[in-house]
Amino acid sequence: MSLLFSPLRIRSVTFPNRLWVSPMCMYSAVDGVAQEWHHAHLTQFASGGAGLIVAEATSVVPEGRISPRDTGIWNDEQRDAWAPVVEAIHHRGGIAGIQLAHAGRKASTWWPWADDRGSVPEADGGWATVAPSAVAFEGFAEPVALDADGIERIVIGFRDAARRALDAGFDVLEVHSAHGYLLHQFLSPLSNRRSDAYGGSLEHRARLLLRVVDAVREVAGSGVPILVRISATDHAEGGFTPDEAATVAEWAIARGADLIDVSSGGLVAHQRIDVHPGYQVPLAATVRQEGGIPVSAVGLITDAAQAEQILADGSADAVFAGREWLRDPHFGLRAAHELGAEVVWPPQYLRARWR
């Protein structure tokens, strides 16, 4: 029997398989409100056999957006725009998750296909950014270091966003603490120069992430799965390390998270990454083995046999893919066909099941 197409139960949710859609920013929102694009983009994966579909990094406060075109969930209009997307995913038999995020010093930037790069000026719709310390990402505007009140607003923002996400119908919540965004900025000594209770030792640098997990779990209750995405290394000297990631992952699980979504990088522009198929899988394996906790792997996972082997090797409990779902929104059905796995096909697509 295929491991990739075996079910996985986390709290009250049973995932029909372990091939999941990674959150991917679409840069297509208006004032943080999801549009028709998001509806069509996300619901197609439910028809394509995804075990879990996680909506893109969605900001918990206005100033937390990566770009002015990012989605948000800090107000009820945004919540209400997400609700029909989730309903459509459910109608097609899918499970819907959302990634709750704050970009910190990497907020207020141009979207990838804009003519400009770097920070968006306030005159063009940008805003002042915040971070653990007044240390800019290379080429971006210098952020304002968060004070105690600012940190409290971050925690409240995640809590309120989690409540709105559940009201919109989402089944799974993911806390974004990777790719150089705010919670990752607190974790790494390269961006966190604080000397208070949120800086210095690993325990202090992890404090904000753990407070956010506490707040989200309080809202989620006992039944909703909570994932935490981390960058297990900064790929830069003096940065966050895999051993530290395993320790923080253990702490997050103890505070109410259920699975650690292991990625890497994004904190500094001078990172050096050897990118190749499955290049982040060993990081997931390290966190899983050292922490003894459930993890998912992600990063250039592009075919069924590769994904199956990751699970067979014991490197991860589930697999996130991104690019391959964009190339083929029915990646799940294709992978099941290639592995000879028995899965539920939409009746409209049954003619493609056997030949």
- As a whole number of angstroms, the distance between CA 266 and CA 250 comes to 22
**Is 185:131 a contact under the CB 8 Å cutoff?**
yes
Give backbone dihedrals phi and psi of 150, rounded to 5 degrees, phi first.
-65, -40
Question: Which residues touch 101 (CB under 8 Å, ≥6 apart)?
Answer: 57, 58, 59, 60, 64, 66, 176, 181, 182
Question: What single letter denotes the amino acid at residue 243?
Answer: D
Distance between CA 349 and CA 336 in Å, rounded?
A: 13
* C-alpha pair distances (Å), 166 with each of 91, 105, 171, 222: 17, 28, 7, 13
- Say if residues 48 and 329 touch (Cβ distance below 8 Å): yes
DSSP output for 215-236: HHHHHHTTTS-EEEEEES--SS
Among the options 181, 198, 279, 349, which is catalytic? 181
Dist. CA 169–CA 174, nearest whole Å: 14
CA angle 123, 129, 130 (to 5 degrees): 160
Pairing of strands 8-10, 13-15: antiparallel
Strand partners, 312: none
CA distance 108 to 52: 29
> Is 27 an annotated catalytic residue?
no
Catalytic site residues? 181
